[in-house]
Every structure is written in structure tokens, then in C-alpha cells.
A and B are shown apart, each in its own frame.
Chain A
């Protein structure tokens, strides 16, 4: 498994109270431990403070109307900027993740099972960044689709159904929210697949310190590139009609980074090495590599070697039936048996089981 780079932390000064604070690179928002001001890093480090009394504002993700803790005035936050980093809640801790992994391994009949159970010596919480682009799309899609229509013709004695293609016009209005997801880092770096996201998961804003106990994969690409790709995808017509002519408009759009928790577990025993990635939000196995059971291995090898039995039998029959072809047939038979033995014992036989969640990509 590749070594993951450590989360880097910047040291900055709070503009409110001049206290020194650590700023991890995975977030845009930090709460100062000294004066509890919420600090945002846009072009310059600034405090989210009350315009009336400069007191701290308790910024809550998604809320635009905030109340000042000192003077009580309500402040409306501007729609631009704000938090664009969110994380899915971690619902599975390390013991639960190990239990899920063990149960999954025990349920697989083709996996080698140690006598005293699988022990995971290494367990690490990793956050996978995923870009999310969301847009409210409005407009109309026009086009045609063809359907088959059956019609009974003929008289009672000679009735038959005649099928004909009927072209129908399609006019579909759209006013819906569309989302597009793109992995911001390669999940294969931890042996995982990109987990499925439906857009209905609860999200928590990422503040400084939230992810310090885990490894955060560094994101690749930029938000601008992601927005450009997202716009192209969400403005594609979805009605699957012929000659599509759509007039779709982007009413609202947003782009943010989601951090998905994954538990990476590794262990080994005499049978081989085990590596299981457990989804920290859903509590299911995302990917796994485990040694193949001995009986399953023998069965696999036999299955690989069995097709070579056909030429072996043919050569044997030839040697028995034809006296003149006995010597060449015997030589070829010996060669075929050697190849079959090599295939049976070593070549091209998988020694591990590899699994990927079918809903991941």
C-alpha cells in the first residue's frame, strides 16, 4: 500500500486576538481556540464578525441568518463565498469496522480462514475528497421518440397483428436539481473504489481540527475545472429522444468538496495478507483483498488444467490406434502432460480473492 502524505498544517495569527493557531490544509474555516471567532480564508484571513459590535458570530453551515452572541443583532450572510467543504459523518468506529470486515471475510467461502480469526494489525481512517457540483436546471426538452403500435387487421378467419412504428413528439419541462460527482483523488491509492453518493446524505461543515485524527488524501484538480465539467453534464438532455432540441438554463449552481470517511484495515497470517476497506459512513465493505482458500485454489487449478485433458486424450487415442504414429504421439503426450502439470501447480493461478463493491465506481 502506498504511503499517504501527512496532512500539512499552516501556522497563522488570528486577526481578532492575535493568538497563534494551526490551520490544516483541508479546510477553509477554523474556530480560534482563544477568542472563539470563526475565521474564513478567502483572499485574506478574515474574521466572521458582527458588523454592529465586532463580536464573534457562531457560523453554522448552510445558515445565512446568524445571531450575534454579544449584541443579539441578526446578520444576513452574503451568498458568495462561505463554506465549501463538507464531510460525511463518521458512523463506524475502529472496532465496528474490524467487526464488519471479519464478518464479511467469514461469509466468503472462497477466502482462507485462519483458525483463530483474522487479526488486523493496521487500521487507519482515511478521508477521500470528492467534488460535488449541484445546479438547479430549468427548461424544456423537445424531440421525438418512436414506439411500436400493434393493430389487428383482417377478417375473423384470417386475423393478424400488424406492427407499425409511430413517431410521437416529446415536450418535457424540467425544473430540477441535478448533481454531478467526481473523485478529487485516486481511491486506488488506498485500494478502494469511489463510494456511491446519492446527494441525500447528511453533511457537516469541515472546521479546523475535525480531520486531524485521520489521513486526508490531497485533492487534485481545481474547482473551476470541476464547475466546467459539471455544467456540461447537467445541461445534457435526459429524455433520450431522437433529434433532441433542448433549451436548458442554469438557474443556480454550486461546487464544493466532500470528504468521505473510509477505514483501511490490513493484516496477515500464514495464509497470506488481508486488506479490507470499510465504508465509514454506511458500514459496508467497499473493497477487499484476501488469500484464496486451499480447496478453492485446487479447484481453480483443476479448472485451468482441465481443457488440456482434451488434447491429451486425443493423443492417447492416436497412439493406441495407429502403430506408425505411436512414437510422435507419445512425445506430444509427454509434452502436454508437462504443460498440464505446470499449469496445475503454478502458472496463472490466482492466489488471492479481490472484491470491489458493485455500487462503487
Chain B
């Protein structure tokens, strides 16, 4: 029975969603979270924590939901999440457009940090104004469209941290 229903599910192609990743200089304290014991200051003053700002959509629910969830879970991005330099012909349509520039991503980083504080029920005043963030890096995260994933704006991110 399970094999029949699994076989009848339409297979969506894997798409790559553009997301800006900004390293946090002060760690999760910049987003109003207490620092975890394992978090330290790494090389170049970077604590290992990142703020994620979706660059493939300007809809508030998408930027808020996907950005906050990625920042909350701090996924470890492997090779699958980094764009490859070459590509097969016709693969460009699987990559989302990039709608935000670097400067805009930095501004929306504060928006995501505040969204994280609101979602976790913390005081928004604990979130630093203009949090200290490092240079922006554009990454592509693999995902498939799935209407059941309402918390992630109908995208099922193919990352281990999002496997329920």
C-alpha cells in the first residue's frame, strides 16, 4: 500500500534557492539569544553563527519564515548547498533568481533577527540595532516544492536539520 501511494506522488524537480548568508560577529547574542557553551569566537572574530536572508522572493512570509527557520537551525551546508561553477545546459532554470543585492541583504538581516526574537517570544530590544555581520555570501540551498511545508513557505529544504 505504501509503495503504491509513494509511487503515485508526483516527483518535483530539485530547485536551488538563492539565500544570502551573513556571519554574525557576536554570535547569537546579536539576535538576542544567550550563547551556547559550544559557541566560541572562531577565526577572524566569527562565532560560527549565521543570519540567512532569502534572496529568491520579496514576499514577507517567505523572507520571514524561511529566513527565521534557517537562522534558528543553523544548518551545516555541505557541497550540495554551494553553487557549482560549471553546469549542464538547461540547468539554469532550476536556480532561483536573485532579487536582493548585498546591501539589501544586510538590511534584511536585521529584519530576520527581529523575526527570530518575536517567534521565540524574546524581548525585541535585546536584538542589537544593525547587528554586527560579516561579508555576505550567496549560497544555493536545494529544495523541492511541497505544499505540506507551510512553515517554510511551501518549500521542503533538503537539509539534514530540516528532516522532521
Binding site for B on A (CB under 8 A): 136, 138-140, 142, 171, 173-176, 247, 249-252
Contact = CB atoms under 8 A, between A and B. Distances in A.
Interface string B96-117: 0000000010011011001100
Contacts of B60: 173-176
Interface in B30-61: 58-60
B152 interface: no
B70 to A, nearest CB: 16
Nearest to B104: A251
Contacts of A247: 110, 114, 124, 129
A140 B60 CA distance: 11
A251 B107 contact: yes
Contacts of A171: 118, 124
Interface in B63-98: 63-64
B14 to A, nearest CB: 27
A142 B114 CA distance: 11
A140 B118 contact: yes
Contacts of A252: 104
Given A138-B107, A173-B115, 5 more contacts: A139-B111, A139-B114, A140-B115, A247-B114, A252-B104
A107 B63 CA distance: 52
Contact of A138 (B108, B118, B124): B108
A251 B63 CA distance: 14
A140 B63 CA distance: 13
Nearest to A252: B104
A198 to B, nearest CB: 20
B83 to A, nearest CB: 20
A139 B107 CA distance: 9
Rank and list the top 5 A-B pairs by shortest CB-CB distance, nearest first: A175-B60, A138-B111, A140-B114, A249-B107, A171-B118
Given A140-B124, A142-B124, A175-B60, A251 B108 contact: yes
Interface centre among B60, B107, B111 (most CB of A within 10 A): B111
Contacts of B104: 251-252
